[in-house]
Amino acid sequence: MLAAFAVVITPLVIALAIASSQVNALALQAQASVMRAATYGEQSRALDDALLAMERTVRQGHVLGAAEVIDAYGRQRERLLRAAAQLGGPTAVPRERIDTVKAQEELVFSTLQSDGSAIALVHWPALASACTALIDAAGQAVAADREAMVVRPTQVVHAVFGFAAL
């Protein structure tokens, strides 16, 4: 009788263990998704703020002609590059988007150092466009992640009911 009881309860225990692991995986996936979305929000804001501050600095240098502009720009430059790298880190952003931002920023910075802020401003729209494309790509990755999180709970519910039916 105990053997029959063990045979009957074993599939239930296995189903419960599998269902528990499915729910745990869902919870971990949801937690990771929330963290990626939060990072996206923070870093896209930081990237946008750094870009705006850099443009303001270059325009001030154009008007004032001050050598301190390069130092101020350098500080903002580090913020922008760090935000771009972190924005691409947790999301499925193509690496070339980040590389494009870095290349455009390097062009603006080298132009600022050699030719001055008036010429650097000519290259500014390409840098702004590259940053916008990076933010958009990261936003699309977060949206795709969100869409996956909408479908996943339904899949887990079906799996749990399937195991319960067994």
pLDDT digits (tens, 9 = 90+) for 120-148: 889 899 999 999 999 998 888 888 888 88
Q: How many CB atoms lie within 10 A of CB 105?
A: 22
Q: What is the pLDDT of residues 22-76, one digit of tens each?
A: 888 888 888 888 888 888 888 899 999 999 999 988 888 777 766 677 888 888 8
**DSSP conformation class of 106:** H
From CA 49, how far away is CA 79, in angstroms rounded?
A: 9
The DSSP letter of residue 110 is: H
pLDDT given at position 66: 65
Determine the Cα–Cα distance for residues 73 and 64; give it in Å rounded to an integer. Answer: 14
With tokens 């062009």, the residue in question is: 107
Average pLDDT value for residue range 104-126? 87
Cα separation, 121 vs 127, in Å, equals 10
Helix axes 124-165 and 95-114, enclosed angle (nearest 10): 160
Q: Average pLDDT in the 75-97 region?
A: 83
Q: What is the pLDDT of residues 91-107, one digit of tens each?
A: 677 888 889 999 999 99
pLDDT band at 90 (very low <50, low <70, confident <90, very high): low
Residue 88 scores a pLDDT above 80: no
Cα separation, 132 vs 125, in Å, equals 10
pLDDT at 20 (0 to 100): 83
